[in-house]
Structure 1
Amino acid sequence: MKTLLTFALLALIGLLHLNSAANQGPGSINESCCSNVTRLAVPKGRIQNVVRSHSKCPVPSIIVTTVCKKQICLVGSWNWAKKVLTEFEKSLDNKKSPSAPFNTLPC
């Protein structure tokens, strides 16, 4: 009986370890990588956040998060996307939230 209980506990621990290893936490490479990119110009008032994808991602992209919490992956080499990223980063200098013209429109 003890052998069966020990085996069951070991199997449970193994399954829990396998499950926890499969999920990656916030900020992981997979979370900040895009598989599909587009050239969709998002109005600046609808942009809440702009970040560059992780350098190890297979597709270089710029990730825009809208005020409605939708994430849009833009082509990383697209001049419009690079300009928006630069403007967004400048608007954050010495501030905690983006300044106008970003994040001004409702969802």
Structure 2
Amino acid sequence: MKTLLTLLLLTLICFLYHISAGPVAPGLMVRAGCCEKYNRTPIPKGKVTHVGRTADNCAVKAIVVSTVCNKTFCIDQDWPWADKLLTEFKKSANVITSPFNQSKCDETSTVLKG
């Protein structure tokens, strides 16, 4: 009886371990990569570390901008400034000197508060 109980317990532990090592549920990933709303706040290029678009399955389409202060902003993708920023960021990947990611985090900056 103890052997059967031990075997059952080991099987349960292995099953739980296998489940916990699986990928994140699709619903959680979508929420993490999508924006609930967006704005039109220009962000200095020197503060920008990454620029990209939200996933195709997001309800709100936006351009996502990450900064040196580890903040993320959702910008209106129809705003010409945001589209230009995305284009320049993609081009800067092939350039040695880039205007992006040049500044240090300045918590007193009013532009990046939020």
TM-score normalised to the size of structure 1? Answer: 0.73
Aligned mates of 2:8, 2:55 — CA distance in 1: 41
Partner of 2:86: 85
The answer to whether residue 18 in structure 2 is matched with residue 17 in structure 1 is yes
Partner of 1:76: 77
Q: 1:12 to 1:36 in 2, by over 3 A?
A: farther
Partner of 1:67: 68
Q: 1:7 to 1:44 in 2, by over 3 A?
A: same
Offset at 1:73?
2.0
Q: Which amino acid aligns with 1:49?
A: H
Aligned mates of 1:33, 1:59 — CA distance in 2: 7
Offset at 1:46?
0.8
- Of 90, 100, 103, which aligns to 2:101? 103
Q: 1:61 to 1:98 in 2, by over 3 A?
A: farther
Q: Which amino acid aligns with 1:2?
A: T
Q: 1:12 to 1:55 in 2, by over 3 A?
A: same
Aligned mates of 2:5, 2:92 — CA distance in 1: 62
Equivalent pairs counted in the alignment come to: 101
Q: Which amino acid aligns with 2:102?
A: T
Q: Which amino acid aligns with 2:70?
A: K
Unaligned runs of 5+ in 2: 106-114
Offset at 1:45?
1.5
TM-score normalised to the size of structure 2? Answer: 0.69
Unaligned runs of 5+ in 1: none
Q: 1:5 to 1:55 in 2, by over 3 A?
A: same
